[in-house]
């Protein structure tokens, strides 16, 4: 056992002394020691209940004969960090979380790990750390929030963000906006739609790194606590059989995860996190492979923000396993892969329910014939850009219009809220990429304002930053190379014509090459926005969004 590095032999008497100071007995020190990494805190609604989830996971470990030892992890609430300098640190936190897990589990050689995240960058950060360490590990998230209710309709956080735009347009009163805010986030859990947190918690199942139900069982359900207990028992089985994360997250498992991503219509942020996980797992990944899978795998589940359903409804019809069973019936998955249950995917799917035809449609009758995401290339994005095509109105799948250029999210938001953006415009927001931001901020505020103002079917947005999983519309992010690296987006001027063709996967700038060269010669060197601290170090080391914004 790895823990014997600090428990066995006369030379480790001082180590045993320190462990006895924790109250551990000699008998406990002979059992597997399981690190329980919990991201509990009192600022993130998705994490406010993780202490209870961790307690249940610890109970499961004890029931299976192990010794659980809890430690903490940081987390950023993207909603609370939105539209101010705090959002610069959200994506950055992923690397800190991965690094801190590596530090904790190497300095204290646990025999296995239970990862208890829930929101946005915490789940991928913990998974990155686990794949890097490659010791037996399992993830059990805190689960999704229930949707709220307002005027008889299901609502969620995005309803409030879009309500801000509706208020600016005079469509609702300030009192109505506050009522929306009061009733749309009813309690603990990751925000209720297919946003980034729920996307990654669902993909954890598809990668085989979590038990069935991890992505969809509501946070407030007793089933969530039972799942945590079962995860505690399951990690002990992984330790006994020495099944490690890289044994599960194989190249085939990543292909399965991408297929599930397309079927669910997941957040565009998965195109940052899945490559980062593949990098840690030593699995080759090309951004263009998303288009290959998206062409083959249809969109089967339409959840908020693109659809009317929420995670709780997907859970009621069988969750991720039901989705995978439908994909497997169409030979779109590798069912021989091993999972954290200790069984193959094929064995698990035998007991999964069939598609209900409403929330989860059959492959033959999908919401869209293509998967949820598309990667666009062209002279504006030579290395790629990403759009959640399942959340784009049919009228905006192709669009040509004049650029309205802004060098920050704040500038763009101010112009949108001041009603300066007109139908047909393409809002360009640059110097918000991994280096330029720094931190590649999400643009939920301006995209929600566009929707709330009623311009979602007439205005597009293009940025080297990124979008919340809650963003919808013709919003194209991750444009690479980014402006801070001298990418073509740095050369766009007001009035330039931009051509978007999502079916053809193209994003082009209709400006003569000679004119672009003239602009490049006059382009001032990029000046970092933050020159000290972690953000400055991150900006110097981070890679392109096309490579998952991994640290070099």
Active site residues: 468
- DSSP code at position 172: S
Nearest to 461 by CA among 425, 511, 417: 425
- Helix then strand then coil, in percent of the chain rounded to 5, is 45, 15, 40
Q: Tell me the CA distances in angstroms from 343 to 140, 198, 215, 252, 329, one per residue in order.
A: 18, 24, 19, 15, 19
Q: How far is 391 from 372, CA to CA, in rounded Å?
A: 8
Q: How far apart are the first and last CA of the chain?
A: 32
Q: How far is 183 from 343, CA to CA, in rounded Å?
A: 42
Q: Positive or negative CA dihedral for 443, 448, 454, 457?
A: positive
Q: What is the 3-state secondary structure (H, E, C) of 279-318?
A: HHHCCCCCCCHHHHHHHHCCECECECCCCCECHHHHHHCC
Q: Is the Cβ–Cβ distance between 408 and 432 less than 8 Å? A: yes
Residues 6+ apart with CB under 8 A from 474: 387, 392, 393, 396, 397, 399, 456, 459, 460, 461, 500, 502
Strand partners, 252: none
Burial, 195: exposed, middle or buried (Cβ in 10 Å; 0-12, 13-18, 19+)? buried
Q: How far is 201 from 115, CA to CA, in rounded Å?
A: 11
């Amino acid at each position: 056992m790895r823990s014997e590095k600090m428990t066995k032999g006369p030379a480790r008497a001082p180590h045993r002394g320190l462990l006895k100071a924790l109250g551990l007995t000699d008998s406990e020190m002979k059992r597997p020691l399981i690190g329980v990494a919990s991201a509990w805190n009192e600022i993130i609604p998705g994490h406010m209940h993780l202490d209870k989830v961790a307690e249940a996971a610890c109970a499961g470990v004890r029931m299976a004969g192990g010794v659980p030892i809890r430690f903490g992890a940081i987390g950023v609430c993207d909603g609370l960090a939105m539209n101010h300098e705090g959002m610069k640190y959200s994506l950055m936190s992923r690397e800190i979380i991965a690094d801190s897990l590596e530090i904790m589990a190497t300095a204290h050689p646990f025999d296995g790990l239970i990862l208890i995240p829930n929101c946005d960058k915490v789940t991928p950060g913990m998974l990155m750390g686990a794949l890097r360490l490659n010791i037996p590990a399992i993830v059990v998230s805190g689960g999704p929030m229930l949707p709220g209710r307002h005027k008889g309709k299901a609502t969620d956080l995005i309803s409030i963000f879009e309500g801000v735009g509706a208020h600016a347009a005079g469509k609702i009163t300030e009192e109505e906006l506050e009522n929306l805010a009061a009733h749309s986030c009813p309690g603990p859990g990751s925000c209720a739609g297919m946003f980034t947190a729920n996307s990654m918690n669902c993909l954890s199942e598809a990668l085989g790194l979590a038990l069935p139900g991890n992505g969809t069982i509501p946070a407030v359900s007793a089933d969530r606590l039972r799942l945590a207990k079962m995860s505690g028992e399951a990690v002990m089985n992984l330790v006994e059989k020495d099944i490690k994360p890289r044994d599960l997250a194989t190249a085939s498992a990543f292909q399965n995860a991408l297929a599930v991503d397309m079927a669910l219509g997941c957040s565009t942020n998965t195109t940052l996190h899945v490559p980062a996980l593949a990098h840690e797992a030593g699995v080759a990944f090309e951004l263009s492979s998303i288009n290959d899978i998206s062409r083959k795998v249809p969109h089967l589940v339409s959840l908020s923000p693109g659809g009317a359903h929420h995670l709780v409804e997907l859970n009621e019809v069988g969750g991720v396993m039901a989705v995978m069973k439908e994909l497997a019936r169409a030979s779109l998955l590798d069912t021989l892969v091993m999972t954290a249950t200790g069984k193959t995917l094929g064995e698990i799917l035998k007991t999964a329910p069939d598609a209900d035809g409403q929330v989860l449609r059959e492959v033959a009758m999908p919401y869209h014939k293509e998967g949820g995401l598309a990667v666009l290339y062209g002279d504006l994005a030579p290395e790629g850009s990403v759009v959640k095509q399942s959340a784009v109105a049919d009228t905006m799948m192709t669009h040509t219009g004049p650029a309205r250029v802004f060098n920050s999210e704040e500038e763009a938001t101010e112009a949108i809220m001041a009603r300066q953006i007109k139908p047909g415009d393409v809002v360009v927001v640059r110097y918000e990429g991994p280096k330029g931001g720094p931190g590649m901020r999400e643009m939920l505020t301006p995209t929600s304002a566009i929707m709330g103002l009623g311009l979602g079917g007439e205005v597009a947005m293009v940025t080297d930053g990124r979008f919340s999983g809650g963003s919808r519309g013709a919003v194209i992010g991750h444009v690479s190379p980014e402006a801070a690296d001298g990418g073509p987006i740095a050369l766009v001027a007001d009035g330039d014509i931009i051509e978007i063709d999502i079916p053809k996967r193209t994003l082009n700038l209709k400006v003569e090459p000679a004119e672009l060269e003239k602009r490049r010669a006059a382009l001032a060197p990029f000046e970092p926005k933050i020159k000290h601290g972690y953000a400055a170090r991150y900006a110097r080391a981070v890679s392109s969004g096309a490579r998952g914004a991994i640290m070099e």
